[in-house]
Chains A and B, each alone.
Chain A
């Protein structure tokens, strides 16, 4: 079936899966369930609410972790011809307000874990005239209740959606320090979710634990999950994965390499503790919930050895590759088609070519562009071809191999992208720092600093190492966890420079 909009996918869900559970999630000590029919009705209710509030078709920001309210707000927005702007809930408030302004957001739907952001919206984001709390039971003077909006606006809603219209803006780290708003259309996301049939039967149980403001989770966990008729269990916190694996017993799960490596360490430990000759499959069942068969890996490169290691435990790992600008999946290994060392076969809706060793891709999932950044867009898209910034090649059977990275971006094992320039620009403002270089050092972010000794002397600083560590600690306190610098090196001479006087990155 040819579906090219998120509206069609939700409609397909209610017609095909009806009363089957679409979502399961914890509410205090019990498990709540929402069916495909409820998802359809609730997202329409949210669309109706937007219409009543005069916000239909506008840019609506979603700020929070994965919850039913977030998901309904998302589809309610996109399926009423609006544009959803998912925001990273880990960012400092100032950074969030800036993104809300840059994305021309007119309405904010927020989780109470970031009540601080909502409280500052009137002052910092004057174009936002409507603020909705995902948890509030009742409307207040300044904040509307998501639950009330749904209750008060039940009923049918339909508006014509064009597949190529914008529906989502996702901010991703830029290599020059400024984050870029990737514009994705209905077709970009729907095609990415649908074009590769992974032969997963309806009724399969998954657990979603990656951040929903990342498009890997949004497209593959949520949109593809809803298209396929999966029951999607929501992990409530990264602290509780182990516990929730036991509660929800997923059969399939999307992970990033950091978590895969950690789970493997757990399995090895379990082997050591178990009686000799206990079958490894039995150990895996006990350790990972009981029914886990498949792990899809994305977000960062996974050492191919893990595929064999998990195979011993009866679990298949399917490694894929992509980027936000491609909605995101460009290639994926499959149960019946996989090659060790490759990042999978090109998606059916994707073509690839190599230009000066760099992988370029083209297809219906390539983004519309960067929001209000025409120069950056022109540098990244050329005649519909997306320049990935990754070095690689495609073999004769269409399997993709990544050999390196052209762009200056740190990609951590948890899939987060960090721009070294962003951190360097921020820290360079400190008078104690003359020159700074930020890099990935064995999976953690390292800063190498050449201090301004003249300033240090005048300021009476006797221990420069200690002083710079304080600078780093203050910086880290204001940063989300994944942008923190965990290793500091102090040098006593200037960095080697290029002829253009820029620090040479080795």
Chain B
């Protein structure tokens, strides 16, 4: 993935316009993600991490600049987005796969794995409205992590389910990272990022203030 001079600014709400507030967003980002690389993004709340990820996923259009990518990209954010209460777990899995741009055949090949990982057994063929919140989360993470794109973008999705399922999810995401072509991950878990990333960028007020070695990046972030 190649990103050149990427800028996206959110409009300032009308009632604050007279106060000369600088619009939030990201400004003038230049970045490339290589095949096989795991890139971390850290920064304070509102620094533009999720915005950058959404731009990389192609769901937000930039104001200026360009993004180009080889192969497929998918964003792992918000577990259970797109699910419908009247569809069964199985139907929701197919719908989610289609939303991620997968073909019926690709989903057919993964559906048993999704069912097993979610530990839903016969509930998999019952409507989602009959699920407990834990079951919904399990289905969400199982479906979301089943597809391995060329570029995987992860935005803080590991905190769902009970403790044992969280551990299981972490392992699954790690496996997904191994199988995906390249990974960009946004997280506040600095320890996890130091462990898995090849490179980390630090964002502050929508700009890259540090780019490089994970240990140095975490240090730079802590000094902000």
Q: Do A and B come from one complex?
A: no
A residues in contact (CB < 8 Å) with B? none
* Chain B residues within 8 Å of A, Cβ to Cβ: none
